Amino acid sequence: MKNLRNLTTYLPVKEITTPDNPAISSLHMDSREVKTGGLFFCIKGYTVDGHDYAEQAVSNGACAVVSETDLGLNVPQVIVKDTKRAMALMASLFYNHPTRNFRLIGVTGTNGKTTVTHLIEEILKQNGKRTGLIGTMYTKIGEQVSDTKNTTPESLLLQQLFNKMAAAEVNTCIMEVSSHALDLGRVRGAAFNTAVFTNLSPEHLDYHGTMEAYKYAKSLLFSQLGNTYDGERQMAVLNGDDPASADFERMTAAPVLTYGIENACDLQAQNIKTAPAGTAFEMVTPWGNKTVQLALVGRFSVYNALAAAAACSAEGIPLEDVVSALEKVQGVPGRFEPVDNGQPFAVIVDYAHTPDSLENVLQTLKELPAGNRYVVVGCGGDRDQAKRPEMARIAAAYGDYAIFTSDNPRTEDPQIILQHMAAGVEGQSNVKIILDRQQAIEWAVQNARTDDVILIAGKGHETYQVVGNQVLDFDDRLEASKAIQKQGYRKGGC
């Protein structure tokens, strides 16, 4: 068991208010979860400040507190400049640096993180690896699935997950790494072996302010990679078709493996052929060329497959095994996921919630033979307002019918959000506004005819709608299925 002095060994400047050195049995950042013998970190969040709950933590059994000010508590206080930075370091020490026990692959970028991590996981699993997965949809240790609150958890929760993975003898952990997590230091203490970049387009500018600041946050994953050449295999995997990759290559000391379609890259897709049943292409690599037949649709799926192939090649998986595994993947929940109840038109649910990702999906639909295209889309509340008119413009440009609706309005008035969207398509006649998302989906289904396509964008795998401070049950896939059944269609016939 660690004691307080052990855990503060590497803190550069600290004040400990008493000479006591209690044994530490657990670490906590939520005062309600503190156990006897626990160490509590006072973390300042967006809405609450952990310093306000320090006394509650002590009453629940905390034997020491890490804070940024002296709170006058009757237990030892470690006073530091930055409790988040201290928490990351102390958590890694407490759990004996768990990422030293397995390979760690981080995937960052605006779009594609979830699909790429799942493709990597499938390739590794089919090649005998025991995997862990941390991302937007859930956390997995082997086949055990649990919910996740953030794409990338706080450093303490992350080190606890890593510790569980080490105990479960995971060989490789694959995780989505968000720009927020990098900027806020959540992945400090995580020893990445391979870092993957998917793409960069405007997103989270309400937080980062500028594209340059957003790109800088992403670059932090690569700048911490490869600074020692100690025999541990490391690699930066970069999208050679994205201009940001040139900056990331300069910022990393690790060897670089590139992938792409347009530019000459280490792994390159050629002769791409898209069909409703999937996508075929030639993968040209330093280890030979392979024809790939994906069950996934679209050029963006080719990029995702190339990124996963490059990452797994960096992990030592032979090319033929990489391709064999990719061809077995049938899809990722909420990513270009079809809803089929026997109706004569297509219904696709996709997580596309940025202008770039929405345009990618709609470009793919445009390449497929179809009648009219219906686009059901909204924009989230309490998030970047600048993308709303652009999302609307893209939906109306590609869709024969663009239906604007609610999508996690949170504490904003959904009518105001829809007004922001409508400002991007003034005067266009193919736009319909239906505030209620269920009704918007039903309208599209009621009006679709044979060979039409409906895209329901923005929520993908999510099974909830955030309205005010309430989290309400809502699943686009389920709502679409119910709407189709209302029209009298059933799998296997009407």
Bridge partners of residue 374, in order along the sequence: 401, 454
CATH number of domain containing 114: 3.40.1190.10
My answer on whether 296 and 372 are in the same domain is no
Tell me the sheet residues that pair with 106. 175, 195
- In degrees, rounded to 5, the angle at the alpha carbon of residue 233 between the alpha carbons of residues 98 and 268 is 120
- pLDDT of 340-399, one tens digit each? 899 999 999 999 999 989 998 999 898 887 899 999 999 999 988 999 999 999 999 999
Give the domain-ending residue among 328, 355, 386.
328
Q: What per-residue confidence (pLDDT) applies to 490?
A: 81
Cα atoms in the 13 Å half-sphere on the side-chain side of 89: 14
Final residue belonging to a domain, choices 28, 61, 86:
86
Reading phi first (left if > 0) and then psi (alpha if -120 to 50, else beta), residue 416 is in alpha
Give the pLDDT confidence of 407-463 residue by residue, as tens digits.
999 999 999 999 999 999 998 999 999 999 999 999 999 999 999 999 999 999 999
pLDDT of residue 439: 98
- pTM as predicted: 0.89
Sign, CA torsion 304/307/311/316: positive
pLDDT recorded at residue 76: 96
In angstroms, the CA 399 to CA 369 distance is 14
Nearest to 207 by CA among 182, 234, 171, 243: 182
Model pLDDT, residue 134: 96
Among candidate residues 238, 453, 477, the one with its CA nearest the CA of residue 337? 477
In this structure, the answer to whether residues 289 and 204 fall within a common structural domain is yes
Number of domains in the chain: 3
**Domain residue limits at 266:** 98-328
**What is the separation of C-alpha 431 from the centre of its chain, rounded to a whole number of angstroms?**
30
Same domain, 302 and 342: no
Say if residue 260 is in the same domain as residue 145.
yes
Cβ–Cβ < 8 Å for 314, 285:
no
- On the CB side of 145, CA atoms within 13 Å amount to 4
Q: Are residues 217 and 289 in the same domain?
A: yes
For the record, the structure tokens of 187 come out as 């992945």
In 3D, which of 65, 83, 82, 87 has the Cα closest to residue 74?
Answer: 65
* 352 lies in some domain: yes
Tokens of 172: 């490789």
Q: Are residues 253 and 310 in the same domain?
A: yes
Could you tell me if residue 93 is inside a domain?
no
How would residue 493 be classed by pLDDT, with cut points 50, 70 and 90? Answer: low
